[in-house]
A and B are shown apart, each in its own frame.
Chain A
Amino acid sequence: MNIKLIIAAMLAATSMAAHAGKDMQALMDKAIAESFKPGEGQDLSRLKQDETQMLCSTSRNSPSPKDAEALMTREKATIQYPADGKLMGDWKQGEKLVKSGFGMRIGSIEPDPPAKQKGGNGGNCYACHAVDPKEVAAGNMGPSLTGYGKLRGQGEDIAKYTYEKLYNAQAFVACSNMPRLGHNGILKPAQIADITAYLLSSESPVNK
């Protein structure tokens, strides 16, 4: 087999490995551009993918080890901290944010009411996690967080990890199903510190 053939075969194999080839990308872009309503109360910018969303889509959430490494490094660099530097805030405020599934729904049919939007977004954690053992209506897309602080401790290291994980889940797990809550602007740094306290504090119902 000559070298050119080998290279051609290798190229074919790599292009097949990516689920969405170049043509498919163009088709998708066209379909997206033609399929969503513009205008008041809409926000077409939400359909534009960043590099991470694009990579996770085309690799169906299984990027190569090299791509995953680069992705996590890039996401880690986005993390911002509260102005006062405290990663553990008020756990009672954190509890409210964990419970609230409010926020970010738009469109002409059933947008989140503007009056309520002033109250800010929730973290929507119960959609995916068990947290307070007394709350039974908990999803299971993510692991249970019940007893999180009791199991993990309350030291500086775990506070830093928890804060950073909440700010940008993909700094630790490439293509995680958990939203990048801080990076995407759903929660503010001070709110993330409140939730961190809720998960870690020994007074919190999470750890009772």
Chain B
Amino acid sequence: MKYKAMSLGVALALAVPLAWGEASVEEYRAALADKDANPGLLTIDKGEILFKEKRGPKNASLEKCDFGLGAGKIKGAYAQMPRYFKDTNRVQDVESRLVTCMVKLQGFTEAEVKTHVFADQRSNEGNTDLEALTAYVAYQSNGMEINPPLKHPMEKETLSLGEALFWRRTGPMDFACSTCHAEDGKRIRLQPLLNVLNKKDIQATMGAWPTYRVSHGVVRTMEHRMWDCNWQMRTPDIDYGSPAAVALIAYLTHQASGGVYDLPGMKR
């Protein structure tokens, strides 16, 4: 299984420079009919090793990290995030929660953890630790229903905030998320655009993240997608795990609730 994923990863990496359209990704998806060949599985393996390894000034693993279901319970945890955490008194997505655990359990500083969160696809860099850890934790919810909780007042507030931010126009292009993601059948050039207001569309989309991005040759996470779309909106860099990023992710996840995680995904 690993060998298959590896050789396919190489084949994909070589093919990347040939302008990727949606059609060619479909071809690869067909060639990949069995999931075992998704190169994202290698990243998940890397994430598992990192998760269980004793690291940081406190020489501890992340196995005691609490993702909302109790310390050390990661099965199904991602499917019920973002959620409110009492110890930090805020709503967190899986990625900001990983940062919390790396600080609290392993003794890293937040700045250390966040110096280089995303792999640089332009230099063919492999996945960063945070990307691999996220892919691993998320994979423990594979096949489960997207079911973020909505009980705590701050979970409700974060959801409303995310929805309002989705419509917030800003910057030199007057863009909001809704400019590109609120109608069926729209494209930017040839790239089909997700319609967040279409239940089926958003369920299939969120169910496939984290996702192996063929054009980047690495697994990407929702925090990266938030950065990427904000970059397209010509804003300054949105900060990893920041209140706005988490609120947007909470809104997208709630829109998708009832869908099913089918991980790791594979996209252009």
The 8 A CB mask of B164-180 against A (1 = contact, 0 = none) is 11011111111110111
**Residue from B165, B187, B237, B247 in contact with A139 in the complex, judged by beta carbons closer than 8 Å:** B187
Within 8 A of B (CB), among A41-58: 42-44, 46-49, 52-53, 56-58
Which residues of B sit under 8 angstroms from A30, Cβ to Cβ? 243
Asked if residues A106 and B164 are in contact (CB atoms below 8 Å), the reply is no
Closest A residue to B190 using CB positions:
A137
Closest A residue to B224 using CB positions:
A109
Closest A residue to B122 using CB positions:
A110
* Chain B proximity of A168: nearest CB distance (Å): 10
Q: How far is the CA of A136 from the CA of B19 in the complex (A)?
A: 14
Which residues of A sit under 8 angstroms from B18, Cβ to Cβ? none
Interface size on A, residues (CB 8 A): 49
**Residue from B164, B174, B231, B247 in contact with A179 in the complex, judged by beta carbons closer than 8 Å:** B174
Asked if residues A138 and B189 are in contact (CB atoms below 8 Å), the reply is yes
The 8 A CB mask of A5-43 against B (1 = contact, 0 = none) is 000000000000001100010011011101111100011
Asked if residues B188 and A24 are in contact (CB atoms below 8 Å), the reply is no
Asked if residues B168 and A49 are in contact (CB atoms below 8 Å), the reply is yes
State which of A66-74, A89-97, A180-188 sits at the interface with chain B: A180-188
Asked if residues B238 and A61 are in contact (CB atoms below 8 Å), the reply is no
Which residues of A sit under 8 angstroms from B174, Cβ to Cβ? 52-53, 56, 179-180, 184
Closest B residue to A108 using CB positions:
B237
Asked if residues A42 and B237 are in contact (CB atoms below 8 Å), the reply is yes
* Chain A proximity of B124: nearest CB distance (Å): 15
Asked if residues B243 and A109 are in contact (CB atoms below 8 Å), the reply is no
**Residue from A27, A42, A177, A185 in contact with B179 in the complex, judged by beta carbons closer than 8 Å:** A177
**Residue from A34, A107, A128, A179 in contact with B172 in the complex, judged by beta carbons closer than 8 Å:** A179
The 8 A CB mask of B219-234 against A (1 = contact, 0 = none) is 0000000010001101
Asked if residues B164 and A20 are in contact (CB atoms below 8 Å), the reply is yes
Asked if residues A184 and B167 are in contact (CB atoms below 8 Å), the reply is no
Which residues of A sit under 8 angstroms from B4, Cβ to Cβ? none
Interface assignment of B245: CB less than 8 Å from any CB of chain A: yes
Which residues of A sit under 8 angstroms from B190, Cβ to Cβ? 136-137, 139
**Residue from A24, A43, A136 in contact with B164 in the complex, judged by beta carbons closer than 8 Å:** A24
Q: How far is the CA of A27 from the CA of B232 in the complex (A)?
A: 24
Asked if residues A47 and B242 are in contact (CB atoms below 8 Å), the reply is no
Closest B residue to A170 using CB positions:
B174
Q: How far is the CA of A137 from the CA of B23 in the complex (A)?
A: 14
* Chain A proximity of B152: nearest CB distance (Å): 16
Within 8 A of A (CB), among B167-211: 167-176, 178-180, 185-190
Q: How far is the CA of A91 from the CA of B176 in the complex (A)?
A: 31
* Chain A proximity of B82: nearest CB distance (Å): 14
**Residue from B164, B165, B188, B231 in contact with A141 in the complex, judged by beta carbons closer than 8 Å:** B188
- Given A31-B243, A37-B236, the answer on whether A104 and B164 have CB atoms closer than 8 Å is no
- Given A28-B165, A49-B170, A110-B231, the answer on whether A36 and B175 have CB atoms closer than 8 Å is no
Which residues of A sit under 8 angstroms from B139, Cβ to Cβ? none
Q: How far is the CA of A126 from the CA of B174 in the complex (A)?
A: 17
- Given A19-B164, A27-B161, the answer on whether A47 and B231 have CB atoms closer than 8 Å is no
Asked if residues A35 and B238 are in contact (CB atoms below 8 Å), the reply is yes
Within 8 A of B (CB), among A114-130: 126-128
Asked if residues B169 and A49 are in contact (CB atoms below 8 Å), the reply is yes
Asked if residues A46 and B169 are in contact (CB atoms below 8 Å), the reply is no
Interface assignment of A105: CB less than 8 Å from any CB of chain B: yes
* Chain B proximity of A58: nearest CB distance (Å): 8
Interface assignment of A140: CB less than 8 Å from any CB of chain B: yes
Interface assignment of B160: CB less than 8 Å from any CB of chain A: yes
Asked if residues B237 and A36 are in contact (CB atoms below 8 Å), the reply is yes
**Residue from A32, A48, A108, A137 in contact with B244 in the complex, judged by beta carbons closer than 8 Å:** A32
Asked if residues B227 and A109 are in contact (CB atoms below 8 Å), the reply is yes
* Chain A proximity of B217: nearest CB distance (Å): 16
Interface assignment of B36: CB less than 8 Å from any CB of chain A: no
CB-defined A-B contacts under 8 Å, sample of 22: A27-B160, A27-B161, A34-B243, A35-B244, A36-B239, A46-B172, A46-B236, A47-B170, A48-B170, A104-B173, A106-B234, A109-B118, A110-B122, A110-B231, A139-B188, A140-B186, A141-B187, A141-B188, A180-B174, A184-B172, A185-B172, A186-B172
Given contacts A46-B234, A127-B189, A186-B173, 11 further A-B contacts (CB under 8 A): A24-B161, A31-B165, A31-B243, A36-B236, A37-B236, A48-B170, A60-B167, A104-B172, A106-B236, A179-B172, A186-B172
